[in-house]
Amino acid sequence: MTHIITALCLRDGACVTVCPVECIIPGLPQEEWPWYYIDADTCIDCGACIPECPFEAIFPEDEVPKDYTPSKEGMQISRYDGTEVYDGHDDKGDAVHVEGVRTLAMGEVVDLTVDSQPNYDYFNSAGGPEPERASDRGAKVGMGYKAIGK
Ligand code: SF4
């Protein structure tokens, strides 16, 4: 199994800091890959990233809700059908600008299971990260990524 970052992600990045195996990276180019993504091959399902996400965007893969309803007013979802923008700051205080988001209505039901596949696709995509595997770096555990393109 793995954990999944869903379209509730608005690029906070705190999850990256706590992941013990460095398997979460921001999507680049952001216009094509608007969230952060988890490498399923490396994730050890420790769950450390879940409480770090201020948008409650991360789930164990088998618990990604098909009938998600927002837990509070003003929650936004980052999908291409959105016409709004999100302007905020990440966990390091750097500006974040995400286009194509929309605000969820209270009581609205959203299928987040469709967000699982992009986590796999990103790591298999030509424009995705170039893996810098532990063996390449002489490290004993973990995998880092060099995001290519911007
Ligand atoms: Fe990383 Fe653990 Fe989250 Fe998997 S569950 S992405 S290993 S912090």
- For residue 77, give every residue at least 6 positions away whose Cβ sits within 8 Å of its Cβ, in sequence order, or none: 7, 8, 101, 102, 104, 110
Mean pLDDT of 14-31: 96
Q: Which domain holds residue 14?
A: 3-146
| pLDDT, position 132 | 46
Tell me, what CATH number does 22's domain have? 3.30.70.20
Residue 99 has phi, psi (to 5 degrees) of -100, 165
Residue with CA closest to ligand 1 atom 1: 19
| Higher-confidence position of 118 and 140 | 118
Residue pointed to by tokens 């609205």: 108
Query: Which SS3 state, helix, strand or coil, does residue 76 take?
Result: strand
Asked whether the predicted pLDDT for residue 138 surpasses 60, the reply is no
d(CA 135, CA 139): 6
For residue 76, what pLDDT band results from cuts at 50, 70 and 90?
Answer: very high
Ligand 1, CB within 6 Å, residue ranges: 3, 18-19, 21, 23-24, 38, 43-49
| Cα 83 to averaged position of ligand 1 atoms, centre (Å) | 31
Of 6, 23, 25, the residue with max ligand 1 atoms within 8 A of its CB, to mutate for a pocket test, comes to 23
Cα 17 to Cα 55, 96, 100, 106: the distances in Å are 16, 17, 26, 31
pLDDT at 81 (0 to 100): 79
User: Looking at ligand 1, which atom is closest to the CA of residue 42?
Assistant: 7
pLDDT of residue 34: 94
Q: Which of 55, 60, 69, 57 is nearest to 111 (CA)?
A: 69
**How many independent structural domains does the chain possess?**
1
Tell me the HSE value of 37 on the side-chain side, using a 13 A CA sphere: 27
